[in-house]
Amino acid sequence: MRDIKDAFARFWPLTRGDRKWLALIIVCVIVSALAETASILLFAQLTDHALKAGSLSAFWGPAAAWLGAAALGALVGYLGNSLATWTAERFVLRLRANVFRHVQDLPPHFFQRHRQGDLVERLTGDVEAIEQMVVSGVVGTISAAFSAVFYATAALWLRWDLALVTFLLAPLFLVTARRFSGRIKKASQDERTADGAITSVVEESLGNVVLTQAYNRRRAEEKRLEREARAWMRASVRGARASEMYEQFVEVVETLCVLAVIGLGAWEISQGRMTLGQLLAFAAFLGYLYPPIRNLGRLGLTFTAATAGAERLNEILDARPAVTDPAEPVAPWPVRGWVGIHGASFRYPGAERACLQDITFTAGPGELILVTGPSGAGKSTLSKLLTRFYDPTAGVICLDGVPLTDLPLEFLRENVTLLPQETLILSGTVRENIEAGRPGASREEIEQAARDAAAHDFITALPDGYDTEIAPGTAALSGGQLQRIAIARAMLRSSTVLVLDEPTAGLDALAARRVVQPLRRLMAGRTTIMITHDLSLAADADRILVVDSGRLVEAGTHTELLARGGTYARLAAPLPETVTGGRADDTLILRV
């Protein structure tokens, strides 16, 4: 019960703005229950005065009133149910948007700890479970409560002594529901967890289908899916068995109550203390009374199951963003592009040691600062600090002398563009992918950015040109072409500071060479910090920083660092052999 109260208290505020509609739904529920009660009383009158007497004249009045009550109940019921569905879907829409908005503010390590499919399940199935508790559950509870009160009152009015006898069995429904709630909650938790696991396995397998096929992993993937599916099946069957056992037990209790009423009623009729119409009406009231009581018990089980979804959503909502906007942000200004990192250190949450320690350097407008070093040295973490996915655990990073922690995140990321290591493509047209750099850009601006990125020619050669649909993992374009679309997106953004994280990673020699020239145009006039293993642009860099084991171990120009013969010289040393493409100008010296 405590879990239900906590979940309800957390999510009920999201109904603000719809509570007037909930009140109207409740009015419709009350009117509908009253109409149903009136119909049963009119049925009793019709039985005693028209059917028993065989009088057609006594039929028309009660029949017309009964039809009117039924029509009113149907109209009000339709309006109430339609409004309830609309209100429930509005709540789902609002809750899902709130959770999704919160998820987008969470740091990268959160997504590394949670499988994507499981997060998808929380944003779909778990959100709908919360709605069943907060909106549909409230309406259902009030509907069942008012119906039970009206039918019980009418039964008491007809024969209070018989009613009291039959009411003694009513608490059995609630006691039974309470006994079944624990096992249903556990089964619901297991089922939702397994749902997320199944979605994750399917997404991972489809996303890595080349690996699956190339390494003959099809059977292994099938076994992985079967393992998760069996876990889901076991949980689903447990929950279904518990629910079905509850339903069947309640059915037996309800039948017992009805038989008791009929037996007592027959005795009362034989003694002349009750009419047939009264008995039928009394039995009808009990027949209508027990379903709402049963529904109250079932709603208790629904609430219990919904707490499993609430706990999973709370895990997301309780996760805190790594960075937030400052309470008193600095007013925007025309950014010049001075970047300063002063004694910055960083350790990921939960990590035992820092991955960056006491990093200090500056970069000015128009400068190219190249950051290199062995794998795992902490270079990519630097890009996350510069774009403020995280804040340093020590030291400070400044833009034009202003600490990044004093800047609104939106303003910072409008002026510091990240070209990440992974080529990020959105599902949509080529034009939409480039326009994502600056929403609202004109057609001419988009195409000029594509020309600057050396992408215009291959885009126009596509079947639908800029309107060609592409998606992550598309086979319609090569890795180099997709990277040039990403470069065009960055060019369109036109920010003063550019952070490049392994811009040629994953590209073959020819594709890498084709990307270099657009990169030169992208970097022109901007403060550029390039994090890379590829030293093909090293000679163009104003300064090269070598990071090793989280520390800045060397700094200087390409020529200076080669002359010193340190870590950089080893990284830049060519392998004994070269790999040559089809033409002499495609030769690429591989470096480690």
Tokens of 591: 């470096």
The predicted pLDDT at position 53 comes to 58
Asked whether the CA dihedral 28, 33, 39, 42 is positive or negative, the reply is negative
Whether the Cβ atoms of residue 495 and residue 337 lie closer than 8 Å to each other: no
Question: From CA 445, how far away is CA 435, in angstroms rounded?
Answer: 9
Question: DSSP letter string over 134-147?
Answer: HTHHHHHHHHHHHH
H/E stretch holding 131: helix 127-134
| Residue located via tokens 């104003």 | 542
Tokens of 424: 């990020």
The predicted pLDDT at position 401 comes to 93
Distances 357 to 345, 382, 389 between C-alpha atoms, Å = 4, 11, 18
339 class by beta-carbon count within 10 Å (0-12 exposed, 13-18 middle, 19+ buried): buried
Question: From CA 222, how far away is CA 224, in angstroms rounded?
Answer: 5
Residuewise pLDDT in 10s, the chain (592 residues): 667 788 888 888 888 888 899 889 989 888 888 888 787 777 767 776 666 556 666 677 777 887 888 888 889 888 988 898 899 888 988 888 888 888 888 888 888 777 777 777 777 778 888 888 888 888 888 887 887 787 777 777 767 767 776 666 666 666 666 666 666 666 766 776 777 677 777 766 666 665 566 666 677 777 877 887 788 777 777 777 777 777 777 777 777 777 777 777 777 777 777 776 666 766 666 666 667 766 666 666 677 767 777 888 888 888 888 888 998 999 999 999 999 999 999 998 878 888 999 999 999 998 889 999 888 788 888 989 999 999 999 999 999 999 999 999 989 988 998 888 777 888 889 999 999 888 888 999 999 988 888 889 889 999 899 999 888 767 778 878 888 888 888 888 878 998 988 877 766 666 666 777 787 777 888 898 988 887 877 888 889 999 988 899 999 998 889 888 888 888 887 644 433 333 333 333 333 3
Whether the Cβ atoms of residue 208 and residue 292 lie closer than 8 Å to each other: no
The predicted pLDDT at position 343 comes to 93
Question: From CA 306, how far away is CA 313, in angstroms rounded?
Answer: 11
- Report H helices in 208-334: 209-214, 218-270, 276-317
Within this chain, domains 2-186+242-317 and 339-586 share the same CATH topology:
no
Question: From CA 30, how far away is CA 28, in angstroms rounded?
Answer: 5
Q: For 2-186+242-317, CATH number? A: 1.20.1560.10
Whether the Cβ atoms of residue 372 and residue 331 lie closer than 8 Å to each other: no
Tokens of 216: 């003959």
**Packing angle, helices 136-158 and 160-167, rounded to 10:** 140
Distances 474 to 1, 212, 432, 468, 479 between C-alpha atoms, Å = 50, 18, 15, 12, 9
3-state SS assignment for residue 308: helix
Question: From CA 434, how far away is CA 418, in angstroms rounded?
Answer: 14
Model confidence pTM above 0.85: no
The predicted pLDDT at position 495 comes to 87
pLDDT digits (tens, 9 = 90+) for 59-71: 777 778 878 888 8
pLDDT digits (tens, 9 = 90+) for 497-511: 989 888 777 666 666
The predicted pLDDT at position 585 comes to 35
104 class by beta-carbon count within 10 Å (0-12 exposed, 13-18 middle, 19+ buried): exposed
The predicted pLDDT at position 592 comes to 30
**Domain residue extents for the chain:** 2-186+242-317, 339-586
Pick the CATH number of 339-586 from 3.10.180.10, 3.30.1330.10, 3.40.50.720, 3.40.50.300: 3.40.50.300
The predicted pLDDT at position 402 comes to 94
3-state SS assignment for residue 435: helix
Question: From CA 136, how far away is CA 10, in angstroms rounded?
Answer: 16
The predicted pLDDT at position 575 comes to 42
248 class by beta-carbon count within 10 Å (0-12 exposed, 13-18 middle, 19+ buried): exposed
- Residues 6+ away with beta carbon under 8 Å from 126: 192, 309, 310, 312, 313
